[in-house]
Structure 1
Amino acid sequence: MYSVNSVKELQDLNPFIVVGCGGGGEKFSNLEGIEAVGFIDDDVNKQGTQFCGQTVSGSLEECLSGTSANSLVIMLPIGAEGSAIKYAVQAIDAGLNVITSFRSLSIEDNISLKKFADSKNLIIKEIGPRLDVVEKIAGIAPEKSCEVLPKISYEPKAPVIFVGGTSQECGKRTTSKKLGIAATQRGLTSAVISTDEMGLEEPTEFNFRAGSLSAMDVPAAVLSAIKYVEETKKPDIIFIEGQSSLTEKGNPHPRGLSAAILIGAAPDAVIIGHRPNHPYREPRGIEEEIRAIEAVEPTKVVGISINLKNAELDLDAEYFEHKYNLPVEDVYNNGASKLLDAIFDYLGE
């Protein structure tokens, strides 16, 4: 009802003032047939600079004084709804049509804006997530966009270690826990962050189900978790439990989740888990997972946690250590001290 369905609808509302001089604002101004005659941004560092051929203004009033716009488009990120509402009200009051994005301002959640625009005989619509199309092709869709977390930028003070794996149920949660225990035994303050609803065991600081989040929100949630634990605990080292695998066959759906957690962690080093002869998963293997991890993120796999529950009798940690030329530990029986040594050796501490 409130969603833009074609670029023709936008062309009919030319020319535009664009609020938000970032990726969204640039993409909008580059749409076919769109005439952008002014740009606004609240960032004082952008004001007065050139963006898409125009000088960035700091307010709608300033921008209107030098342009003859018919409409305003709001292309702000999640978390900037307050600014989005301000600009929408100002634009309608000034007689401008308004286009917003679902990330900036949901019209469905702000019906008063629609009533305000109607009272002025103006158009207000949003560039939505097109969940109607998802429902058409998949038969089901969420009622609204799942992407809700603001993006953050944060540089951790402590080293961050990602615990990945070659498949689901290969030992990532146990390895993360054992690494935390090994670090504590050495007198370090460690933090273990679980990204699964089953991460309930000590010494895990807290857990959340990353798979319940939008893929766009997962990196923000992981980075927010790192920031939070550093502010509240000041750990010497942080362990992030991964989910699924980047390379597992047979079940591709969680692979994007694994990549999103890895990207959010931006780890200094990685430990991967592997379960030989997995009874109900289809791992491609250790070499494939190492290549994938190091291709997705500029980091290094420094050790292997081996889960021998279903292994043949002649397979042991030494076999895998010789084969892959990396430190290998059976954490279920021996703990993770050897893997912690590998991490510190790599980090040079």
Structure 2
Amino acid sequence: MKETAIVYCESNFGSKDGKTANGLVRSSRKFEIVGVIDSTKTGMDTGEILVEEKNGIPIFENLTDAIEKLDKVPNQFIYGIAPSEGFLKEDERGIVLRAMEKGINIINPLHEFFTDDKEFTTVAKQYGISILDVRKPAAKKDLHLFSGRILNINTPVVAVLGTDSANGKRTTSVLLEDALHAKGLNVAFIATGQTGIIQGAKYGVAIDAIPSQFMTGEIEHQIMRAYDNDKPDIIIVEGQGSLSHPAYISSGGIIRGSRPGAIIVQHAPKRERTGDFSYEKMPTIESEINLIETFSKSKVIAITINHENMTDEELNTTISEYELNHKLPTTDTLKFGCDKLITSIFDVFPELKSKQTVGLSK
């Protein structure tokens, strides 16, 4: 049985900075999410906010409220906010400490490592609970340099990149993984961020916490682990940030380490400024595709849309315009599923068609 988890996402559930909580509510193979803490949305159902349909996961005012209303104390307390600075706010220390005192294990996705904090480790020992720093990398002696092994494998590698951070790359990746599994294919998903790892990805590394010299090697290492252990038919690699973003370098490491044979690009058409960097205008989908194809020497085979702030009419119009102007299959995987992506992947990698055991969905 899955362990139960409460996710802390004060003032941010459903927003870009709440992406860890949002992702866990949508999909968690490792934990049963029993609630989210966000006092600004107390009493609501998380599904109402994410997909306009109840899913039975409630939102609580605070930890005390959650413990009082739940049948039993959750096993895990997950910090579900992804702030750009990656550090715990001072008032949040008390919340984490209260969770420890209730006997709840702590899962920390921040760049600040709780296992390096004397107060946290002392209290954790006192109450017999564990702390997991998801982003804490292995010792440098255990990290991997790029070896070139990936150049010798024939398994199709598809990367899901994007035009900005927190715009749905991981969500699209997970939905695509599930859709390909439903076709009977053996799929390996490579998580490259903290949320995918917490969700239960078998292979992955929080790439933005790795020293730059080891980025490509660590991505390659995770892919080769999947290749050696599971012999997958296809490998899906989650993107981070964007290649054009002036503040992030993760996309470059992911492209160089995974050497994708095909790329899907996620874009939020109504987003005018990049996430957490309001001075920076969003790139166009055209400019990002050109940059990706030049840098990677791989082709973009489809576009996926993040429908934030879009009406259904605007979304449908945008999809039609993109397909006409860019000659690429375009969809919103949350609204319409992954059929277009799978068709495009099969066109690029026709050998996969013979490996599916379930016919294409209508």
TM range (shorter): 0.5 to 0.7
- 1:158-307 equivalent positions in 2, closer than 5 A: 158-200=155-197, 204-248=201-245, 252-254=246-248, 256-278=249-271, 281=274, 282-307=281-306
Q: Which amino acid aligns with 1:347?
A: F
Q: Is the 8 A contact 2:263 2:299 kept in 1?
A: yes
**Aligned match of 1:48:** none
> 1:205 and 1:157, CA in 2 relative to 1: closer, same or farther beyond 3 A?
farther
What amino acid maps onto 2:191 in structure 1? S
Deviation at 1:146, TM superposition (A): 10
Aligned pair count reads: 202
SS of 2:302's partner is: strand
TM-superposed CA distance for 1:340, in Å, is 1.5
- Counterpart Cα distance in 2 of 1:321 and 1:223: 33
Q: Aligned Cα RMSD in Å? A: 2.3
User: Aligned with 1:216: secondary structure?
Assistant: helix
**Is the 2:170–2:238 contact (alpha carbons within 8 Å) kept by the matching residues of 1?**
yes
The question of whether the paired residues in 2 share the 8 Å contact of 1:146 and 1:214 is answered with no
User: C-alpha displacement at 1:346, in angstroms?
Assistant: 1.8
Q: What's 1:39 paired with?
A: none
Deviation string 1:196-241 (CA, Å, 9 cap, x unpaired) is: 0011476833332100112221110111111100111111000000
Q: Does structure 1 retain, via aligned residues, the 8 Å contact 2:272–2:282? A: no
Quick check: 1:191–1:204 contact (8 Å CA) kept in 2? no
Alpha-carbon separation, structure 2, partners of 1:225 and 1:329: 29
The corresponding residue for 1:328 is: 330
Q: Is the 8 A contact 1:303 1:328 kept in 2?
A: yes
- SS state at 1:204 partner: coil
Q: 1:159 to 1:145 in 2, by over 3 A?
A: closer
Query: Is 1:275–1:311's contact at 8 Å kept on the other side of the alignment?
Result: no
Q: How far does residue 297 in structure 1 lie from its aligned partner after superposition? A: 1.4
In the aligned structure 2, how far is the partner of 1:147 from the partner of 1:244?
Answer: 26
CA contact (8 A) 2:203 2:226 kept: no
| Per-residue deviation, 1:290 | 0.8
Equivalents in 2 of 1:203, 1:191: separation in Å? 12
Tell me the alpha carbon deviations over residues 9-29 of structure 1, each in whole angstroms, 9 at most, x when there is no partner: xxxxxxxxxxxxxxxxxxxxx
Query: 3-state DSSP class of the match of 1:191?
Result: strand
Amino acid aligned to 1:342: S
Give, in angstroms, the shift of residue 335 of structure 1: 1.6
| Cα separation, 2, equivalents of 1:334 and 1:157 | 30
Q: Deviations over 1:26-62 (max 9, x none)?
A: xxxxxxxxxxxxxxxxxxxxxxxxxxxxxxxxxxxxx
SS at match of 1:271: strand
Q: Greater CA deviation, 149-158 or 171-180? A: 149-158
Choose which of 151, 154, 165 in structure 1 pairs with 2:146.
151
Q: Contact conserved, 1:275 with 1:310, CA < 8 A, in 2? A: no
- CA deviations on 1:179-199 (whole Å, 9 max, x unpaired) are 101110110000111100011
Distance 1:169 1:320 in 2: 21
In structure 1, the residue matched to 2:314 is 314
Give unpaired runs (5+ residues) of structure 2.
Answer: 1-138, 275-280, 352-362
Gaps in structure 1 of 5+ consecutive residues: 1-143
Would you tell me which structure has more helix in proportion to its own residues? Answer: 2
Q: Deviations over 1:233-281 (max 9, x none)?
A: 1110000001111123xxx121x22111111110010001001122652
Cα displacement (A) at 1:344: 1.4
> What's the TM-score, normalizing by structure 2?
0.52
Q: Using the TM superposition, give the Cα deviation of residue 318 of structure 1 relative to its aligned residue in structure 2, in angstroms.
A: 2.2
> How big is the shift at 1:148?
4.9
The one of 329, 339, 342 equivalent to 2:341 is: 339
Q: Is the 8 A contact 1:219 1:261 kept in 2?
A: yes
Q: Secondary structure at the match of 2:237?
A: strand
User: Percent identity among equivalent residues?
Assistant: 31
Counting only pairs closer than 5 Å after superposition, residues 5-20 of structure 1 correspond to structure 2 as: none
